[in-house]
Structure 1
Amino acid sequence: MSSVPLRAATHGPHRVVITGLGVISALGHNATEFWDALVGCQTGIRPLRSSLNRIEAAPLRFEHVAEVQGFEPEKYFDPRELSFMDRFAQFAVMPAMEAIRQSGIEWTPELQERTAVITGSCMGGRGAEENGYWELFHNHRTRVHPLTIPLGMSNAGTSHITMRWGLQGPAYTISTACASSGHAIGQAFHLVRSGVAPMAIAGGSEAPLFLGGMKAWEAMRVISRDTCRPFSADRSGLIVGEGGAILVLEPLEAALARGATPLAEIVGFGATADAGHITQPTATGPARAMQHALADAGIVPEQVGYINAHGTATEANDRTETAAIRTVFGAHADAVAVSSSKSMHGHTLGAAGALEAVATILALRSGMLPPTANYTKPDPACNLDVIPNAAREQAVEYALSNSFAFGGLNAVLAFKAWQ
């Protein structure tokens, strides 16, 4: 067991359940397509296509991304809306439509006035900003598009969700690199649990497949040339993806009173900082975040049956995350199933925590644990049960979803199956 001390549980007055969820990703345009692909061990990682329409100007050293295929925004948004919405904002609003529809919410003025909207995004609308810079520096234009600022601002996803449904409660965007939407869901959970907000719309979105962003990742030398193999001895790096996911969170008693069906209960949230290196992870910070999530949930490590790992398939992350899990779970680590869904939907940066929260919730709900795809051979430094290459039928009561970011910022969500 860990030597890191647990803090006391801080249960609020409300139990919090998820009553709706929505997804758009390289695996599909809704939660059903996303989940079917995960349990079928189908990859959304493919050769570069339409998003990088200037790739010939500066070729990349890698060929694969996890791009949303066949998305036609005109089917979901009118032309005026689209003129104000970068692709990342579309990827926030579209899954919010699905989540709110599934939740069956009937908006009243009182509910609209207090509902919170918390989203996460690492890069926001930098694709729109790059288009402006391209015109300035490459085509020698003297001005950029007049809506470049509202298109590029990172809070645009949150703002468009509030405007579409008239939501006037606490609303903001968190940008903590790859932990952004994990932190957003955790913050929303605490707002609902404490009673500050009677409901929250929370998640995140990202659209990083533009040339400048890809060249920046290329320079980091952490991108795989073929595919994403988390925890495998021959892993060679991450695959950048795009997409978004949104959850509806509300108090259990309110959900049951209006006849909604809880999909899962969110029971804990842990957030820590490594306070170490800007890019090199440590095991201590992630371990403390998992410990805090367990303590916040009021459960012990032996009750956890599944962890959706951060699992980026970089050498340092997978080794460090394994060490953190073993620190927290001790001998029970051998009995915990662990998988990385990034092996199929790619690393969606600020949206990763939300996509993986959805994967965790659906795993609890279905009794099927998603696999780690593309796994070829074990790494002694990653000696966990990583559910290689095929989903596993296994009922689990409690699960964690890990998100660890550059800058040493960590977010861990704890979920409980709804019986």
Structure 2
Amino acid sequence: MKRVVITGLGAITPIGNNIQNYWDNLLNGVSGADKISRFDTGKFKTDFACEVKNYDALNYFERKESRKLDRFNQYGLIAAEEAIKDAQLNFDTLDTDRIGVMFSSGIGGFETIEKDIIEFSQNQFNPRFNPFFITKIIANSVAGYISIKHGLRGVNTCTVTACSSSTNGLIQAYNYIKWGKADIIISGGSEAPITQSAVGGFNAMKALSTNNENYKTASRPFDISRDGFVLGEGAGALVVESLESALKRHAKIYAEVIGGGETADAYHITSTHPEGKGAYLAMKEALREGNIQPKDVNYINAHATSTGPGDISETKAIQSLFNDHLKNISISGTKSMTGHLLGGTGAIEAIATCLSIQTNQMAPTINTKVIDEAISSDLNVILEKKATKTVDYALSNTFGFGGHCASVLFKKYTE
């Protein structure tokens, strides 16, 4: 089996449109929440979200090209390009038959679906769809565009598992390289769900926070007063590479991937298992594959959506697995700043986890003041300000509707 490392990172998020800004704002506890600017929210219970700020597609794409791309396509391509440049990949000198793309989305082109269907239904005289309607909405289109742009003829897939999508994709990229079936894979996830239909749909199922008066602090994982997640958008990308290939290229290495767990709650289509059975098994499998013990883990970037049952089930799973070692494990809920990027969330949180390993700095969980008494008091949640300590092993957890559970284990790279 080959060793697998991360050699490039890219991101566009509600708190930073590139890796450095994203990481700086995470460490500084910046909230990405604001009033929704895309549509009139008068008919909705929630009027805020975490939008990408200061974004103009024409700063990244030609006008003609931008019209062919949904916002989620654009975000994914931007993040992927930054990761490719960060990894200093020169495709002219590499075997592109052994370079693949595994880029995910939970929903795909939600904005295009909504816009084109409304326009079609309202146009009585010449109802028609945009000729790029299908390619703008299919969830796998980002993976296809990256492959086509750079001539990457290796594996090309898109994992769609709701909010777990990009973590499942990252684990599969790790497996593919570990098994020797590819040298490099561009992995990541992208989502642009801040639309009327998404806000309305999540409101109808009572999943979104409706704390409109305190929107900046509405995402408050583990807090007794949490009332739902805050919708976010953006993308993250990671260059996943065999150690052999990375050393040959003299690439910088952020972290090593040593394990991944993919399981199911097998409980409910939207609710997590009350005891976190799927989450427990995912983390346990990641540690088993990484050949480490619970006591070895220093940090967990938790899924921590700021939903009532979700936060409790995840922390029960953590408590069950780590037990006596809980107080030695630092935990962050970074959705308190970014909101929930759905299919893109696993990628940006994996990036944060890799940077914590590289820098020995961990982002805070902002907005959380009083931890729910249903959550173990032994849980060492980083509150308000960033924390600093040696991080040798770290987990990144992601869970999705459908009962999908994914946990990926990173290690500080050593020769």
TM bucket (normalised to shorter chain) is over 0.9
Match of 1:4 in 2: none
Between stretches 24-33 and 274-283, larger displacement belongs to 274-283
Match of 2:77 in 1: 93
Q: Does 1:207 align with 2:202?
A: no
Letter of the structure 1 residue corresponding to residue 329 of structure 2: V
Deviations 1:255-279 (A, max 9, x none): 1121111011111110001111111
Match of 2:180 in 1: 195
> Which secondary structure does the structure 1 equivalent of 2:298 belong to?
strand
Q: Does 1:405 align with 2:400?
A: yes
Letter of the structure 1 residue corresponding to residue 323 of structure 2: G
Match of 2:360 in 1: 367
- Scaled by the length of structure 1, what TM-score is found? 0.94
Q: Does 1:244 align with 2:224?
A: no
1:38 and 1:292 map into 2 onto residues whose CA distance is: 28
Q: Does 1:149 align with 2:142?
A: no
Q: Could you tell me whether the CA contact under 8 Å between 1:230 and 1:311 is conserved in 2?
A: yes
Give, in angstroms, the shift of residue 220 of structure 1.
1.3
> Which secondary structure does the structure 2 equivalent of 1:253 belong to?
helix
What is the aligned length?
403
Match of 1:5 in 2: none
1:385 and 1:234 map into 2 onto residues whose CA distance is: 19
Pick aligned residue for 1:40 from 28, 40, 45: 28
Match of 2:380 in 1: 385
1:73 and 1:112 map into 2 onto residues whose CA distance is: 28
Unaligned runs of 5+ in 2: none
Letter of the structure 1 residue corresponding to residue 284 of structure 2: Q
Match of 1:68 in 2: 52
Match of 2:348 in 1: 355
Give, in angstroms, the shift of residue 156 of structure 1.
1.0
Q: Could you tell me whether the CA contact under 8 Å between 1:85 and 1:156 is conserved in 2?
A: no
Deviations 1:124-167 (A, max 9, x none): 01211111111122444511212111111111111111111111
Give, in angstroms, the shift of residue 253 of structure 1.
2.0
2:151 and 2:121 map into 1 onto residues whose CA distance is: 39
Letter of the structure 1 residue corresponding to residue 18 of structure 2: N
After TM superposition, where is structure 1 displaced by more than 6 Å over at least 4 residues in a row?
none
Identity of aligned residues (%): 37
Pick aligned residue for 2:222 from 216, 231, 242: 231
Match of 1:10 in 2: none
Unaligned runs of 5+ in 1: 1-12
Give, in angstroms, the shift of residue 334 of structure 1.
2.3
- Scaled by the length of structure 2, what TM-score is found? 0.95
Alignment of 1:163-202 (within 5 A): 163-202=148-187
Q: Could you tell me whether the CA contact under 8 Å between 2:223 and 2:371 is conserved in 1?
A: yes
Q: Does 1:116 align with 2:100?
A: yes
2:371 and 2:17 map into 1 onto residues whose CA distance is: 33
Deviations 1:27-77 (A, max 9, x none): 11101000000100011111111x23xx26x62111210000111111211
Q: Does 1:80 align with 2:68?
A: no
Match of 2:325 in 1: 332
RMSD, matched Cα: 1.2
Q: Could you tell me whether the CA contact under 8 Å between 1:322 and 1:381 is conserved in 2?
A: no
Give, in angstroms, the shift of residue 110 of structure 1.
5.6
> Which secondary structure does the structure 2 equivalent of 1:382 belong to?
coil
Q: Does 1:258 align with 2:232?
A: no
> Which secondary structure does the structure 1 equivalent of 2:407 belong to?
strand
Q: Does 1:160 align with 2:145?
A: yes
Match of 2:268 in 1: 277
